[in-house]
Amino acid sequence: MFDTDALSLLDAVARTGSFTAAAAELNYTQSAVSRRIATLEAHAGGPLFERLPRGVRLTPAGRALHRHAVDVLDRLRSAAEELSAIHRGVAGRLRVGAFATANAALVPGALRAFLRHAPDVETRIVEGPSDRLMGRLADGDIDVAVVSDYPSGLEEGAETTLTPLLEDEFLVALPSGHPLAGRTAVDLRDLRDESWIEAPPRGHTTMLVTSCARAGFTPRTGFRVAEWTGKFGYVAAGLGVTLVPAMAAAGVRHRADLVLRPLAEFAPRRAVYAALPSAAPLPAALTFLRLLRAEVRAGVDRPADPRAGGEVETASR
């Protein structure tokens, strides 16, 4: 019934007490203000201002409409400010998806930097396997995802765009008393008789199997353990060896009962990406991508010292 221009004019006349002063404030002519107020009064069903010898003042109906006009204009100004903040990526919400190992090493640092940059953004973390996160991103359930091409591979559909972040090399975890523990690097072929601790996903060929095939043998699988802390416990107890991504190893605490070693030419690797919606990604998501790249440049993708032992934070593949 009342457009915002008319409400702004009503407010200007009410504040200044004069059609002439309101016209000067809004860069209108005095006659244009008079005509527009007359039209507004017609829509309101009666006079909104008393015309005085010097200026005007609100009628009871005018005071009622002005009170609502001020509320409406304040809300619209607040909405404009909020939208501007969202478009600048410093307000609204950001839903971040990540596979578990990325949550152990890469995402926390980027998220810390993001929250320093945009503390008013409501941020939520969704953890899951990469293929599921890609589906949720395409469905609009999350705004950005950190994903890996292992174990299921990744397809870049029309709904999503992948940005490479880093290549994550896998190390081998050995008991500290293992005959190969003193080497700077281990040849995978020298581990052909070992029992491997892993929990291969159903229906997928694992990196271990693929890498061992390249090295000319089939690995012997021992205990099925999925989480890194569990795997390290079994390795430390001398029950087998296991592969550990460098992303998980980079944040380990040193421990004396096992060591991590690179696997030289047969080292398996996986690619890690940031995934965004192809159409109109959120400015906050683009900022988070920039901070992920900064985190990688800061060295999160560098393997831990292969001569050191370590304990990996709880994280599954």
Task: Say whether pLDDT at 202 is over 80.
Answer: no
Q: Which domains does the chain have, with CATH numbers?
A: 4-87 (1.10.10.10), 93-300 (3.40.190.290)
pLDDT band at 253 (very low <50, low <70, confident <90, very high): low
pLDDT at 150 (0 to 100): 79
pLDDT at 20 (0 to 100): 92
pLDDT band at 195 (very low <50, low <70, confident <90, very high): very high
Region 33-58: mean pLDDT is: 92
Which is nearest to 231 in space by CA: 311, 129, 150? Answer: 311
Q: 90-104, 119-133, 153-167 — which one is most confidently predicted on average? A: 119-133
Region 42-70: mean pLDDT is: 93
Task: Say whether pLDDT at 211 is over 50.
Answer: yes
Say which range, 139-143, 170-174, 246-250, 292-296, has the weakest mean pLDDT.
Answer: 246-250
pLDDT band at 200 (very low <50, low <70, confident <90, very high): confident
Task: Say whether pLDDT at 255 is over 80.
Answer: no
The total of other beta-carbon atoms located within 10 Å of residue 263's CB is 23
pLDDT at 89 (0 to 100): 67
- Rounded to the nearest 10 degrees, the angle between the axes of helix 283-295 and helix 60-87 is 30
pLDDT at 70 (0 to 100): 92
Q: What is the largest CA-CA distance in the chain?
A: 105
Say which range, 109-123, 227-241, 247-261, has the weakest mean pLDDT.
Answer: 247-261
Q: H or E segment at 94?
A: strand 93-98
Pairing of strands 144-148, 269-277: antiparallel
pLDDT at 300 (0 to 100): 54
| pLDDT top residue among 203 and 272 | 272
Task: Say whether pLDDT at 301 is over 50.
Answer: no
Task: Say whether pLDDT at 10 is over 50.
Answer: yes
pLDDT band at 126 (very low <50, low <70, confident <90, very high): very high
Whether the Cβ atoms of residue 147 and residue 273 lie closer than 8 Å to each other: yes
Region 190-205: mean pLDDT is: 85
| pLDDT top residue among 312 and 117 | 117
Pairing of strands 144-148, 93-98: parallel
pLDDT at 299 (0 to 100): 76
pLDDT band at 60 (very low <50, low <70, confident <90, very high): very high
pLDDT at 105 (0 to 100): 84
User: Residues with Cβ < 8 Å from 283, sequence gap 6 or more?
Assistant: 86, 87, 88, 89
pLDDT at 226 (0 to 100): 82
**Rounded distance, CA 225 to CA 312, Å?**
14
Region 106-112: mean pLDDT is: 94
Mean pLDDT across the chain, nearest whole number? 86
Token match 């839903």: residue? 95
User: Residues with Cβ < 8 Å from 139, sequence gap 6 or more?
Assistant: none
pLDDT band at 307 (very low <50, low <70, confident <90, very high): very low
The dihedral through the CA atoms of 193, 194, 197, 198 has a sign that is: negative
| pLDDT top residue among 148 and 247 | 148
